[in-house]
Structure 1
Amino acid sequence: MSFDVPDDRRYLESHEWALETDGVVRVGITDFAQDELGDVVFVELPDEGDDVDQETEFGVVESIKAVSDLYAPVSGEVVSVNEDLFDAPELVNEDPFGEGWMLEIEPDDIGELEALLSADEYEDQIA
């Protein structure tokens, strides 16, 4: 099976993606991750203003099959949370790289993105 892996973002081995735009990093889970989870029924996210640390847990995604921790791709302050997911968690399945995004972080060090996997490296991991 082939999964969508956009090459405009970076990836964690734990299947989160990070897209930097104008100094803010938008975060979600990958197409592969949502497929493995099955139907997402609940998403727990931090509050705006919370601080997160790179590669530490920031929330939980719950599906009909499993509960999985979510990990931050960069350290920084949460500046936005996708509140649509509270009423429509299925957006994570329907559009994991678009409407199913989870949060936006103002990073302490944008250079942390360089430590993450490229699209090619992530594709190798899930192959």
Structure 2
Amino acid sequence: MFNALRQASKSATLVRVARRPATAASPLRTFQSVRTVVTKRYTQDHEAVVFDDSTGVGTVAITDYAQSSLGDVVFVELPTVGSVVNQGDQIGAVESVKAASDIYAPVSGTVKEINEELNSQPGLLNKSPEGDGWLCKIELSDTEEITKLMTEDAYKEHCEH
């Protein structure tokens, strides 16, 4: 039995393994690594901004805390695409059955896009305020402003007081 195993292992060493030619590159090496950092920050006025450093664009929304305080949203006023805003400027308003509240720009920049669906479905702010109910997208003119806004933990602490 051992002789049969020895013979098999000797003959196996004579078999060459087919290898890819040295000039063929691995398809994995053709892709460059792209690293995107997405940062979510908050204002004291209950706006949230999700900033994507690869595009330089921040998506602005109201927080879940804000929508729950407002109640059922019935109307949303949004900024004009192309308008230039400064951090802290009023960029819109939200009206609910309970109250009306202004929306302030969490960052400075140019409004690149607005959520048109809010015109016909203002209730999206209640269903998904930081998701489908986003307000506008701003191309930041000063990315350092993001670092001056509150982190999620700081915002939670702010809401508790």
The bucket for the TM-score relative to the shorter chain is over 0.9
The yes-or-no answer on 1:10 pairing with 2:38 is: no
2:81 maps to a residue whose letter is E
Name segments (4+ residues, structure 1) moved above 2 Å.
Answer: none
SS at 1:65 equivalent: coil
SS at 1:27 equivalent: strand
CA positional deviation for 1:23 = 1.0
Q: Which has the larger radius of gyration?
A: 2
The yes-or-no answer on 1:87 pairing with 2:120 is: yes
Return the alpha-carbon distance in structure 1 between the equivalents of residues 92 and 86 of structure 2.
Answer: 12
SS at 2:125 equivalent: helix
Return the alpha-carbon distance in structure 2 between the equivalents of residues 99 and 71 of structure 1.
Answer: 19
TM-score (norm 1): 0.92
Return the alpha-carbon distance in structure 2 between the equivalents of residues 19 and 88 of structure 1.
Answer: 22
* Larger RCO of the pair (alpha carbons < 8 Å, separation 6+): 1
For these two proteins, the number of residue pairs brought into alignment is: 120
Task: Provide structure 2 residue ranges, at least 5 long, that are not aligned to the other structure.
Answer: 1-38
The yes-or-no answer on 1:53 pairing with 2:86 is: yes
CA positional deviation for 1:110 = 0.9
CA positional deviation for 1:47 = 1.0
Higher strand share: 1
Alignment of 1:1-127 (within 5 A): 8-21=39-52, 22-127=55-160
CA RMSD of aligned residues (A): 0.7
Task: Provide structure 1 residue ranges, at least 5 long, that are not aligned to the other structure.
Answer: 1-7
Higher helix share: 2
Return the alpha-carbon distance in structure 2 between the equivalents of residues 51 and 85 of structure 1.
Answer: 21
Return the alpha-carbon distance in structure 2 between the equivalents of residues 37 and 16 of structure 1.
Answer: 13
CA positional deviation for 1:13 = 0.2
Percentage of pairs with the same residue: 47
Return the alpha-carbon distance in structure 2 between the equivalents of residues 103 and 122 of structure 1.
Answer: 21
CA positional deviation for 1:118 = 0.5
2:44 maps to a residue whose letter is E
CA positional deviation for 1:113 = 0.7
TM-score (norm 2): 0.73
